[in-house]
């Protein structure tokens, strides 16, 4: 479970980048965050892992022992440990291009083992097997030894998800994970994220309202830093027009093809 309470970010000039955003996401939920460019979606995700210095607000994360921790009011050591169980997938993959798919997956646990052990001993056979099994879950085992640079966009994104899985996360956050993918790969990734949400909460930022309506269990829309919708993934045209304004023709181009 993750709970964001009154997330507020105000600039010294008074401008509100995040305006009192609250929501809670549980295991079994695949939350899609929608909104026009510059609305505050990425800032919201950053807040959830304590990467944004908020003006006001709290983020509570449930640990495996059911304890709830406010990430803005905890020791650095506790926060570091908590973050090892939060998987992040960002657009642009953040993969090491010259390393193999398997090695990139293994890097997912670098945060939770000591630098000493990673430098001196590397990863053990049990970990390598687990990394392979993460690649299998996204159907990439046959490309385990391929250099990431040689993979397609969809394959790279699957490696990024395998790396996230290898972390054995309690929470998965994804910022535009399908933006650079073709429709077929975008659907594959959405299907994988949906399946993962049965294991832990999955929160993703998207610019594809129609795919969100199909795969997400719930949607939040953010506009000018404010939450303007929180509910089932049924997006009526009037709501989409309200959320996106002139950008609607960009996010649903097929509707405006003629």
Q: What angle do CA 5, 8, 9 make, to 5 degrees?
A: 150
Q: Tell me how far, at minimum, the Cβ of 122 lies from Mg ion, in Å.
A: 35
**Total Cβ atoms within 10 A of residue 62:** 17
Nearer CB in complex with ligand ATP: 70/91: 91
Q: Choose, by CB under 6 A, the member of 7, 43, 148, 162 that binds ligand ATP.
A: 43
The span of 30-38, 68-76, 129-137, 162-170 binding ligand ATP (CB under 6 A) equals: 30-38
Burial code (b: 16+ CB inside 10 Å, e: under 16) for 79-97 equals beebbbbbbbbebebebee
Q: Which stretch binds ligand ATP (CB under 6 A): 31-39, 79-87, 140-148, 149-157?
A: 31-39
Q: Does 38 bind ligand ATP (CB under 6 A)?
A: yes
Footprint on residues 30-49 left by Mg ion (CB under 5 A)? 42
CA 42 to CA 33: how far, in whole Å? Answer: 9
- Taking the least distance from each CB to ligand ATP, the nearer of 41 and 227 is 41
Tell me which residue has its CB nearest to Mg ion: 42
Question: Which two tokens mark 1?
Answer: 């479970």
Taking the complex as a whole, the smallest distance from the CB of residue 189 to Mg ion amounts, in Å, to 17
Instruction: Give residues 9-28 in contact with ligand ATP (rule: CB under 6 A).
Output: 11, 17
Cα(213)–Cα(237) distance, integer angstroms:
12
Identify whether the C-beta of residue 8 lies closer than 8 Å to the C-beta of residue 55. yes
Which span sits near ligand ATP by CB under 6 A: 33-41, 64-72, 73-81, 141-149?
Answer: 33-41
Identify which of 56, 17, 61 has the alpha carbon closest to the alpha carbon of residue 203: 61
Give the number of other CB atoms < 10 A from CB of residue 190.
23
Which residues sit at the interface with ligand ATP, rule CB under 6 A? Answer: 11, 17, 35, 37-43
Site residues (CB under 5 A) for Mg ion?
42
């Amino acid at each position: 479970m993750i709970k964001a309470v009154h997330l507020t970010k105000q600039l010294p000039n008074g401008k509100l980048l995040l305006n009192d955003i609250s929501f809670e996401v549980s295991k079994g939920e695949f939350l899609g965050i929608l909104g026009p460019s510059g609305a505050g979606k990425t800032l919201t995700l950053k807040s959830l892992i304590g990467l944004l210095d908020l003006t006001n607000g709290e983020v509570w994360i449930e640990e495996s022992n059911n304890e709830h921790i406010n990430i803005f009011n905890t020791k650095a050591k506790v926060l570091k440990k908590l973050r090892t169980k939060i998987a992040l997938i960002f657009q642009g993959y953040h993969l090491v291009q010259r390393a193999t798919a398997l090695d990139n997956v293994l890097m997912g646990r670098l945060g939770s083992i000591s630098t000493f052990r990673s430098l001196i001993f590397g990863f053990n056979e049990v970990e390598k097997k687990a990394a392979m099994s993460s690649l299998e879950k996204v159907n990439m085992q046959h490309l385990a030894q391929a250099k990431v640079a040689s993979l397609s966009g969809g394959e790279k994104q699957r490696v990024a998800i395998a790396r996230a899985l290898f972390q054995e996360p309690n929470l998965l956050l994804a910022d535009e994970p399908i933006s650079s993918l073709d429709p077929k790969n975008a659907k594959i990734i959405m299907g994988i994220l949906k399946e993962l949400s049965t294991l832990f909460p999955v929160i993703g930022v998207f610019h594809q309202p129609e795919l969100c309506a199909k795969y997400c269990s719930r949607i939040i829309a953010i506009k000018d830093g404010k939450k303007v919708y929180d509910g089932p993934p049924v997006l009526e045209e009037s709501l989409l027009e309200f959320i996106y304004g002139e950008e609607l023709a960009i996010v649903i181009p097929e509707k405006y093809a003629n």
